[in-house]
Structure 1
């Protein structure tokens, strides 16, 4: 280890679930260990016996558990209104088609989001974000996609930027203008995609408002050829891509994302062997979203065993949104991923740390307790990481460290 500076901070006497695959123990566990932080970065992870004597800046964690900060790599956190009444209608037997004909579905959220002021959207999103931060989230992806025109999409992404300024959390914004066809373009979706590819995407990218481009490639969204058009436009600008794919049917969306070396393929309940092979070759992360699977009462599970066999990184996220996954709890998503999809608790933890970091293009800097990584970590009043997966209603968070500072 390098010579310590007087301002270096040592968090000692801890049980570390490093999530570092170089550690052979489950969860990368390192008993009786310490983390040395310099500025916003982890300088070293070392045994308690190697902590230098006499250093002035030391925090004794009294044997508590420490994990990397949690990463929610797929959310739709910013939107106006809610769809609670629509959900009740569905449970009372009203069809989705009938609800949509009445102005419901995603169009209801688009209408509410377009009519909401930036301050209102920020206030609503702040409450949702706070619930996730309270569970230990230190990095979160937030998508646009409920504006579906230039002004409203920019409004959403500006709100995300302001949330990042106001909170001790890292936000990775994603442009999801190709989420649905807005009502004014219902008879000409290709004209809408021209607007997305030639105006919305380049203008907002030039303003630095997002990190990646997403497309909902599905029978109720956009076709593979339309999706490819968006990916080509993004690639020409040097923008990473990802996709909502294979959620309700198999259109080959995951293979398409993989062809463009996409960061992640998300949902993937209907992923086939060809899609699995394509993802394995491209390094695309599989993002599981069990909240939507539960809320929509789906039956087709993602092919977890095939993903395992091919060594594809598996991430887990909340998919927080008003229509299909209104759950601002990453602990609950981890539990659902285990109960519904058959992940092990250790896989669920990898899914909200190092694999979620990979899904956001941050695999070399986030999601592990390791020298050179950002100093985002959580101290828990818990003995073992499985506790947060096993009992999602109980939150044993003791302290949240973001960029080396307790917040």
Structure 2
């Protein structure tokens, strides 16, 4: 009996990223049927027959889920290339900040930029990720630090999906740094975030998550607790930048609130890892910032493995500490700098990244999952992690449509 569908992908080697006991979730079947933007069947054509309105011959190339970049800050005004040059000429970060640079410089440029200007530059950055097989991107605000600009950033983030074949997940990061207007009283800013911005973001459905930067140069655990409490009151998930520069027990705090993810975590105390396991929280590693800031403290990968905490990988694309618009480069960095295996890295940009964004229908090739797929002309999936700038998908499908 012939079954109908929209598209059949034939003669493909499938790295499904299912956790089925085989490396990369490799399947023995060689065809995928797609209908209404989802995977309808994964089948052996000698055993089953699906008739598609279209068919595509994969010529025995590797089919993988589209990649998911689960941590970016890609909407912002201006850039900080001049500061990069100044630091290499001997200026300190403090000196640069005193002359209006650093995060405050990006805040100033973002506030001054029109929505269209922000959108145009964000599309260019997102396009670089999409070219490398990314089909979902999380985009944080956090360079506005006032009601008007934060909302503008979140609206711009959503608009990216109107211009590129990509799913966008906006996150409100009001607690990125204390704005200059509140420098003398950061608690008042935290109250503003909790009482005014979070309710507005929730009411307008501009974001599904609230993020914080829990660090000595960011916000204290007590301040982050207030923000998490406000987020949960408005039915928003929480995420957290934690333990990047020191151990303030931010990860343990985030676990109390069942955070989707804790990100950076170079200084995470291994004793706090079981709390992440109990809260089903994803550990997101950001090797781009580690590399760019020339850090030396590595995240506790072995302990995360031992506790079966899912590990995701992301670009952290931002103007200051990780101006890297290449998921493939970041994947290689994760292996070289943090000793993750290629298989761990690929799970980190598919299944685990989907979990970090609460996207249960993405990150795998499986029946009922979204048909966000990429075809790669490689001999083995490890090649995508092993090489730098050697590969691009030879074909891509977003929600079942070739793009």
TM tier, smaller: over 0.9
CA drift at 1:47:
2.6
In the alignment, is the contact (CA less than 8 A) between 1:8 and 1:39 conserved in 2? yes
Tell me the equivalent position of 1:102: 99
Residue 230 (structure 2) aligned to one of 225, 233, 238:
233
CA drift at 1:53:
6.8
Q: In 2, Cα distance between the equivalents of 1:3 and 1:262?
A: 45
Q: In 2, Cα distance between the equivalents of 1:77 and 1:53?
A: 41
In the alignment, is the contact (CA less than 8 A) between 1:217 and 1:243 conserved in 2? yes
Task: Tell me if 1:367 matches 2:363.
Answer: yes
Render the CA deviation track for 1:169-212: whole Å, top value 9, x for unaligned.
Answer: 10000000110000111001111111111111111211111010
Q: In 2, Cα distance between the equivalents of 1:90 and 1:287?
A: 28
CA drift at 1:44:
1.3
**Aligned pairs, number:** 403
Tell me the equivalent position of 1:10: 8
Q: In 1, Cα distance between the equivalents of 2:52 and 2:369?
A: 22
TM-score when scaled to structure 1?
A: 0.97
TM-score when scaled to structure 2?
A: 0.98
Tell me the equivalent position of 1:35: 32
Q: In 1, Cα distance between the equivalents of 2:102 and 2:183?
A: 14
Tell me the equivalent position of 1:353: 350
Q: In 2, Cα distance between the equivalents of 1:255 and 1:398?
A: 42
Please give the secondary structure, in 1, of the residue aligned with 2:212.
Answer: strand
Tell me the equivalent position of 1:376: 372
Please give the secondary structure, in 2, of the residue aligned with 1:269.
Answer: coil
In the alignment, is the contact (CA less than 8 A) between 1:382 and 1:396 conserved in 2? no
Counting only pairs closer than 5 Å after superposition, residues 387-406 of structure 1 correspond to structure 2 as 387-406=383-402
CA drift at 1:41:
0.7
Counting only pairs closer than 5 Å after superposition, residues 278-317 of structure 1 correspond to structure 2 as 278-317=275-314
In the alignment, is the contact (CA less than 8 A) between 2:351 and 2:362 conserved in 1? yes
Q: Please give the root-mean-square deviation of Cα atoms over the aligned residues, in Å.
A: 1.3
Q: In 2, Cα distance between the equivalents of 1:110 and 1:247?
A: 21
CA drift at 1:86:
0.7
Please give the secondary structure, in 2, of the residue aligned with 1:198.
Answer: helix
Q: In 1, Cα distance between the equivalents of 2:28 and 2:217?
A: 50
In the alignment, is the contact (CA less than 8 A) between 2:2 and 2:50 conserved in 1? no
Tell me the equivalent position of 2:90: 93
Please give the secondary structure, in 1, of the residue aligned with 2:322.
Answer: coil
Q: Which runs of 4+ in 1 moved over 2 A?
A: 2-5, 47-51, 53-58
Q: In 2, Cα distance between the equivalents of 1:240 and 1:294?
A: 29
Please give the secondary structure, in 1, of the residue aligned with 2:194.
Answer: helix
Gaps of 5+ in 1: none
Please give the secondary structure, in 2, of the residue aligned with 1:98.
Answer: helix
CA drift at 1:48:
4.0
Gaps of 5+ in 2: none
Question: Given the superposition, is the C-alpha separation of residues 389 and 97 from structure 1 closer, same or farther in structure 2, using an over 3 Å criterion?
Answer: same
